């Protein structure tokens, strides 16, 4: 039995180590802290004259363009800066999220100006005479907007293609929501089709701080597609009903949601430093035909994405244990309404999980204590039948049967806790709620705890992982209190486990370390009570 238990423990550890290694390779190393950016770069413009609360578009003729100009749109959630050169989005800053954990850092810029990366929302005409509107100067109907609450506003851009035809882009904004309505029409263009272009930077590690690029994401034909940027060196093409398509980052999303006829062709490729997505209708463009889209640029908030009604919540990568992660995240949301602290929420969730697993844990401890009591008899049987393994196994199993002991009873709770552990890992690593969430001395529950106490030593930048060391110490104490069958190799393995777990948890989210620490403390208390009751 000792060998079976040891094998189960080793297999569990190997799975954890391999999972961590896979996550590190898939998502990359933690990014360096972003440099401070000037306010102008983050879309923060000088104070402007107050605007009426309700911006109602006036359907008057669009004036002719008189040179390059910028139009600023501010809502409750973001500041968007458009340019009439190409009628594209030049900058997009999220007002409620910071660029880094530093409270003085500027607002997070979703669409920064990066050399070699075209601004998104361009139009390409594909036909006998291809055309890209990047250099086209559009005339603009509307001016700077400042919207709040239910107030709505509209910007209309209209330009001429040198090959003939009129291009129109109409944006509709609402003060209290992230989604932006987008209506595109092409008139007077004969033959071919029109593609809407979405762009992003090909390496987001430095461009967006801790919002690391996940590459292309899309829900096409009911199937979720994830193409990491490393796989986009060659052009990828997808065809079918498009619910949404765009680019994902650890905590944020930039996506287009087609309305009406969803049958589209999506082509994604890397072009120098840029990731480029072409979204094209499979039918030939007709004169005056309008294409409707919803543009989403914002946080990966589970409830917000669900409210879009197009399956955009699938962009959050909960992994294979999402059916565990999502309920755990919902419980965190529920308790947060009362505590207003995600650190306390994690502790409360740990207590709840421990209570639910208490019967199994009790059975595990009792089984190990029974195994410990049977150890002298097992040693005598091993000595007696050391030359007959078949008889040895038969006698040991008979000993278990007589004493009603399950040899795998001690391993079952550990194996059952593994899906909960991985599910909670993804629930704490991926959603935006824990980004920059503080707790005691910890500045960001989504990051390792040593980052909250940085130090420099001999030119090396490091930190003090107080929480991780406490977790390792609690695990060592728990292993010391755990009954063992007397096998020296098994005892050594049990004492090595705290060291291995401490090393693994160094780069785990501090929220997960809090869970494991509190779980260990509760296990120690439970084990102490069981030892007293079953003497």
DSSP per residue, 203-264: -HHHHSTT--EEEEEEEETTEEEEE-GGG-SS-EEEEEEEEEEEEEESSEEEEEEE-S--EE
Alpha-carbon separation of residue 249 from 91, 157, 300, 409, 436 (angstroms): 17, 29, 9, 42, 16
Torsion, Cα 459 463 464 467, to 10 degrees, reads -170
The structural domains of the chain, with segments of one domain joined by +, span: 63-315, 325-533
131: which strand partners? 125
Task: Read off the tokens for 53.
Answer: 């609360």
Helix axes of 342-384 and 510-533: crossing angle, nearest 10 degrees: 50
Distance CA 59, CA 299 (A): 34
Output the pLDDT for position 359.
77
Residues of the chain with pLDDT under 50: 1-3, 5-6, 9, 21-59, 204-207
Give φ, ψ of 182 to 5 degrees: -135, 125
Q: Which residues contact 241 (CB under 8 A, 6 or more apart)?
A: 220, 221, 222, 262, 263, 264
Output the pLDDT for position 262.
65
Which run of H or E residues covers position 358?
A: helix 342-384
Distance CA 251, CA 315 (A): 10
Asked if 501 and 515 count as a contact pair (C-beta separation under 8 A), the reply is no
Distance CA 532, CA 32 (A): 50
Distance CA 380, CA 399 (A): 12
Identify the residue whose tokens are 């962009």: 315
Helix axes of 510-533 and 466-481: crossing angle, nearest 10 degrees: 20
Alpha-carbon separation of residue 161 from 66, 86, 87, 187, 217 (angstroms): 17, 11, 13, 10, 31
Distance CA 85, CA 69 (A): 8
Output the pLDDT for position 288.
58
Q: What is the CATH number of domain 63-315?
A: 2.70.98.90
The stretches of 385-487 forming alpha helices (DSSP H) are: 389-402, 412-429, 466-481
Q: Is the dihedral of CA 382, 384, 390, 393 positive or negative?
A: negative
Distance CA 182, CA 104 (A): 34
Output the pLDDT for position 54.
41
Number of residues in the chain: 535
**Shortest CA distance to 520 belongs to which of 483, 487, 482?**
482
At 79, is the secondary structure helix, strand, or coil?
A: strand
Distance CA 212, CA 206 (A): 9
Distance CA 197, CA 87 (A): 12
């Amino acid at each position: 039995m000792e060998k079976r238990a040891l094998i189960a423990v080793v297999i569990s550890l190997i799975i954890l180590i391999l999972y961590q290694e896979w996550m590190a390779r898939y998502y990359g190393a933690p990014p360096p802290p972003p440099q401070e950016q000037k306010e102008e770069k983050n879309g923060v413009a000088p104070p402007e004259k107050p605007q009426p609360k309700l911006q109602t578009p006036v359907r008057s003729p669009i004036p002719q363009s008189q040179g390059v100009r910028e139009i600023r749109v501010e809502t409750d959630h973001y500041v968007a800066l458009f340019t009439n050169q190409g009628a594209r989005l030049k900058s997009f800053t999220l007002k409620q999220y910071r660029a880094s954990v530093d409270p003085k850092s500027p607002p997070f810029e979703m669409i920064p100006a990066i050399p070699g990366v075209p601004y998104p929302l361009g139009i390409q005409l594909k036909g006998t005479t291809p055309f890209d509107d990047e250099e086209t100067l559009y005339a603009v109907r509307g001016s700077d907007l400042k919207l709040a609450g239910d107030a709505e506003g509209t910007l209309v851009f209209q330009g001429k293609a040198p090959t003939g035809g009129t291009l129109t882009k109409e944006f509709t904004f609402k003060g209290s929501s992230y989604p932006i309505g987008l209506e595109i029409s092409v008139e007077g263009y004969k033959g071919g089709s029109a593609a809407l272009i979405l762009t992003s930077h090909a390496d987001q590690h430095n461009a967006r701080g801790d919002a690391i690029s996940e590459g292309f994401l899309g829900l096409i034909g009911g199937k979720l597609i994830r193409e990491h940027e490393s796989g986009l060196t060659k052009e990828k093409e997808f065809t079918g009903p498009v619910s949404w398509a765009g680019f994902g980052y650890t905590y944020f999303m930039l996506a287009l949601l087609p309305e009406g006829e969803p049958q589209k062709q999506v082509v994604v490729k890397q072009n120098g430093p840029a990731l480029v997505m072409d979204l094209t209708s499979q039918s030939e463009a007709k004169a005056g035909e309008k294409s409707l889209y919803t543009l989403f640029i914002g946080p990966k908030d589970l409830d917000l994405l669900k409210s879009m009604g197009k399956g955009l919540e699938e962009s959050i990568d909960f992994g294979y244990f999402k059916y565990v992660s999502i309920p755990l995240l919902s419980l965190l949301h529920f308790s947060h309404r009362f505590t207003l602290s995600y650190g306390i929420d994690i502790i409360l969730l740990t207590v709840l999980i421990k209570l639910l697993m208490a019967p199994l844990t009790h059975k595990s401890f009792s089984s190990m204590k029974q195994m410990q009591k049977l150890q002298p008899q097992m040693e005598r049987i091993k000595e007696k039948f050391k030359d007959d393994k078949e008889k040895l196994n038969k006698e040991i199993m008979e000993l278990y049967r007589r004493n009603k002991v399950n040899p795998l009873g001690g391993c079952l709770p550990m194996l059952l806790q593994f899906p909960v552990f991985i599910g909670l890992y993804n629930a704490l690593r991926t959603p935006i709620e824990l980004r920059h969430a503080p707790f005691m001395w910890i500045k960001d529950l989504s990051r390792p705890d040593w980052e909250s106490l940085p130090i420099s030593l001999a030119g090396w930048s490091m930190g003090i992982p107080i929480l991780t060391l406490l977790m390792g110490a609690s695990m060592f104490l728990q292993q010391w209190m755990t009954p063992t069958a007397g096998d020296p190799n098994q005892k050594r393995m049990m004492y090595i486990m705290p060291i291995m777990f401490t090393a693994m948890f160094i780069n785990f989210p501090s929220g997960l370390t809090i869970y494991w620490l509190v779980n260990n403390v509760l296990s120690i208390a439970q084990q102490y009570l069981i030892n007293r009751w079953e003497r």
